[in-house]
Amino acid sequence: MNSVESFVDINEVNVSSRFNVFVKNASLWLSMFPLGWFFRKFPITFSYRVAGLISRLAYLIAGKRRRILKEEAGKLFGSIFSEAEIESIIKRTFAIYLKRQVENIAFDRMTQKHLDRIISVEGWNNFSNVERKKKGVIILLAHFGSFLLPLPFLAYRGYRVYQIAGKPLIDDQGFVMRKIFEARKKQTDKMPFRFLLTDKYLGPVVRALKRGGVVVIAFDGRTGTEMIPMRLLNRTAQFSPGPFKLAYKSGATLLPTFVVRGSDNKHRMVFEPPIQFDMRNHDEDALMSSMNRFLRIFENYLLKYPCHFAMTLFTLKKEASEGLNPSLFID
């Protein structure tokens, strides 16, 4: 789980790098601890209202982030949405992002009763019919909307849920980032799901699936060692075939899953029909066909709810520019 990000565009300020680091760390500390304490003391509905107000201010003052968002959204959606529509998308993106961060801060306070109040489910049969076979389920999602919610939602219903995660990037991040990571880990340790690190090998993941577990994987994750270029709307992106190869190796079923926030801040969790993976024909064509099927589903959600993904465009571009992860786009 990512730590709370700051909206302070320190790179726009012409000051020393040491002061930049101080400002960044201070803003992260405030976001995680004093503000985190504040949001955890109030009902989530109140926190959503506060986050909505903060998002308006963030949109106005985060000039560099707003500019990059406009550039990235323009490249991906430029021939689909007008300039005015893209501007509206960006405004909504700030609100979606801040409200998701509020949810992340209070993640360990989420109970089944709370989740049932804010989430409605579509396609539950798609999940239950596959899970009933006890051959493992790969929940295949993207960093789209409140993408973490399927984890507690399923875990509180008694399913053995795991999320694949890469090695945390905290070794050289300093005292503040380590403390934030430790605080976030304490939160997630209280939740009824577990993380499986994949920086070494996939043995634990395969075993979890073969035992009938539910493994959550982000299709747009940047931790794969192999990337395949594929067309995503107006751009050429690169994605890892890892989830599909894992399905073949373990015999698990791939289930595309998306979480959509409504105007009332309630979520619609959609379990799409499973992607049928031809176990007898595991070749390059079958692999590409399966990946393309997920991409076409993903594109439909992008076109309907672009504000649910736009901040991910910014995050991935920033991480790539800092050499932390491979770029999403290669055009």
Identify which of 9-23, 88-102, 270-284 has the greatest average pLDDT: 88-102
Question: What pLDDT is attached to residue 86?
Answer: 95
H helices of 62-173, in order, are 63-77, 83-105, 112-118, 124-131, 150-155
Q: Name which of 27-31, 212-216, 281-285 the model is least confident about.
A: 27-31
Contacts of 242 (CB under 8 A, 6+ apart): 217, 224, 226
Q: In this model, does residue 93 exceed pLDDT 50?
A: yes
| Mean pLDDT of the region 158-186 | 71
Q: Is 137:252 a contact under the CB 8 Å cutoff?
A: yes
Cβ–Cβ < 8 Å for 219, 298:
yes
Q: Of 65-74, 148-157, 162-171, 215-224, which gets the smallest average pLDDT?
A: 162-171
Coil, strand or helix: which one is 167?
coil
Asked whether residue 328 is assigned to any structural domain, the reply reads no
Query: pLDDT band at residue 15, thresholds of 50, 70 and 90?
Result: very low
154 versus 324: the higher-pLDDT residue is 154
User: How many whole angstroms separate alpha carbon 73 and alpha carbon 307?
Assistant: 9
Average pLDDT estimate for 92-104 = 92
Q: What is the pLDDT of residue 158?
A: 94
Residue 272 lies in a domain: yes
Q: Which tokens in the block code for residue 5?
A: 């990000």
pLDDT value for 88: 95
- Average pLDDT of the residues in 78-83: 90
109 Cβ neighbours under 8 A, 6+ residues apart: 40
| Confidence at residue 160, expressed as pLDDT on a 0 to 100 scale | 95
Angle between helices 17-32 and 174-189 (to 10 degrees): 20
Please give the backbone phi and psi of residue 241, each rounded to the nearest 5 degrees, phi first: -80, 5
Each residue's pLDDT tens digit, 213-260: 999 999 998 877 789 999 999 899 999 999 999 998 899 999 999 999
Is 220 a domain residue?
yes
- Full residue range of the structural domain in which residue 48 is found: 10-321
pLDDT the model gives residue 10: 33
Which has the minimum average pLDDT: 37-51, 94-108, 228-242? Answer: 37-51
In a domain, 58, yes or no: yes
Residues 6+ apart with CB under 8 A from 224: 239, 240, 241, 242
Whether the CB-CB separation of 121 and 237 falls below 8 Å is answered with no
**Angstrom distances, CA of residue 223 to CA of 167, 316, 317:** 9, 12, 15
pLDDT at residue 200, as a whole number? 59
Tokens of 105: 């801060």
Residue 101 lies inside a defined structural domain of this protein: yes
The reply to whether 329 falls in a domain is no
Q: Is the pLDDT of residue 19 over 90?
A: no
Tell me how crowded residue 114 is: count the other CB atoms within 10 A of its CB.
15
**For the chain, how many structural domains are there in total?**
1
Q: What is the pLDDT of residue 110?
A: 82
Q: How far apart are CA 202 and CA 198, in angstroms?
A: 6
Write down the pLDDT at residue 223.
76
Q: How far apart are CA 319 and CA 327, in angstroms?
A: 8
* CA distance linking residue 155 with residue 194, whole number of Å: 9
What is the pLDDT, as a whole number, of residue 229? 95
Type of residue found at 71: E
Q: Which residue is it, tokens 């320190």? A: 10
Q: Are 166 and 320 in contact (CB under 8 A)?
A: no
Least confident residue range of 14-23, 87-96, 140-149, 263-272: 14-23
Residue 231 lies in a domain: yes
Does residue 251 sit within a domain?
yes
Token digits of residue 130 = 């596959």
Q: pLDDT tens, 187-207?
A: 777 788 888 876 657 788 999
Closest CA to 65 of 104, 8, 143: 8
The more confidently predicted of residues 153 and 222 is: 153
pLDDT of residue 57: 93
Give every CB contact of residue 31 below 8 A, 6+ residues apart in sequence: 4, 5, 6, 101
